[in-house]
Amino acid sequence: MSQARILVVDDHPLFLDGVKAALTGAADLVVVGEAHDAADAVVQAGELAPDVVLMDLNLPDASGVEATARIVAAAPSTRVLMMTMSTDDDAVVAAMRAGARGYVVKGAGRDDLLHAIRTVAAGGAVFSPAVADRLGRFFTGMAAGAGREAFPQLTEREREVLDLMARGLENRLIARELFLSDKTVRNHVSNVLGKLGVESRSEAIARARAAGLGDAPSTV
């Protein structure tokens, strides 16, 4: 029997242990690695070539959405299943835009988790009922507001920076892409967060992807 190779990404040791325990009795699934932050997840995904990455949305160094975008851009055949306590509209859509193939809440039971992993490993997509409902309402709202320019409060340069953020680029790579200094990019990022009224980079990225930014991965 062939086994689907799983990389588990989460910064909470107890949750990691719980996931590994849940997968122990599944003969068709095997955990090949674990990562505790986004940077390590990207590195291990490249080294281990897992079939499925079980990805936490909130990681200490960056959003799981950012890590997903980088993993999928480097290895399109790797499938990402997001796990989080949140079913926020922006987070769901951002995960989809980043290339995630599924999205389940951390409170899901073992059978639901295994079903989700197997479905994604087989090439399918799976979302919890709550997430599916939010997605439907989100896209209905998007259709009603189609054609309006996103984030008119941002300058053209700030929009460029936000777009590159949404593609998963870190500040130093944004600086290289736009031929700016690292300090200038940091200032632009700070301005973007303030104008969008968000507290974190991951929130800004989620809103940007939900609005259609960050479609084309950078070649930097």
The domain that contains 178 carries what CATH number? 1.10.10.10
Instruction: Decide which of 188 and 94 is more confident.
Output: 188
Determine how many CB atoms are found less than 10 A away from the CB of residue 156: 7
- Are residues 18 and 101 located together in one domain of the fold? yes
Whether pLDDT at 28 is above 50: yes
Structure tokens at 64: 């799981």
- Are residues 162 and 132 located together in one domain of the fold? no
Length of the chain counted residue by residue: 220
Instruction: Decide which of 69 and 217 is more confident.
Output: 69
- The model's pTM is 0.63
Distance between CA atoms of 46 and 165, rounded to whole angstroms? 21
Q: What is the pLDDT of residue 94?
A: 74
Residue where a domain stops, chosen among 118, 142, 166: 142
Residue 154: C-alpha distances to residues 17, 87, 150, 161, 163 (Å): 43, 27, 9, 10, 12
- Are residues 205 and 178 located together in one domain of the fold? yes
- Are residues 69 and 167 located together in one domain of the fold? no
**43 assigned to some structural domain:** yes
Whether pLDDT at 58 is above 80: yes
- Cite the DSSP H helix spans in 78-215: 89-98, 110-121, 129-144, 156-166, 171-178, 182-196, 201-210
Question: Which residue type sits at 207?
Answer: R
Give me the mean pLDDT over the 110-114 stretch.
91
**215 assigned to some structural domain:** no
- Are residues 32 and 138 located together in one domain of the fold? yes
Residue where a domain stops, chosen among 84, 115, 142: 142
Q: Count of domains in the chain?
A: 2
Give me the mean pLDDT over the 164-181 stretch.
90
Q: Which domain holds residue 29?
A: 4-142
Q: What is the pLDDT of residue 52?
A: 97
**21 assigned to some structural domain:** yes
Whether pLDDT at 130 is above 80: no
Q: Which of 131-140, 198-207, 209-218 has the lowest mean pLDDT?
A: 131-140
**Residues in CB range of 79: below 8 A, 6 or more apart:** 51, 52, 53, 101, 102, 120, 121, 123
Residue 122 binned pLDDT confidence (cut-offs 50, 70, 90): very high
**98 assigned to some structural domain:** yes
Whether pLDDT at 148 is above 50: no
CB neighbour burial string for 169-179, b if at least 16 within 10 angstroms, e if fewer: bbbeebbebbe
Whether pLDDT at 29 is above 90: yes
- Are residues 23 and 128 located together in one domain of the fold? yes
Q: Which of 12-16, 61-65, 95-99 has the lowest mean pLDDT?
A: 95-99
110-121 vs 13-24: helix crossing angle, rounded to 10: 80
- Are residues 110 and 84 located together in one domain of the fold? yes
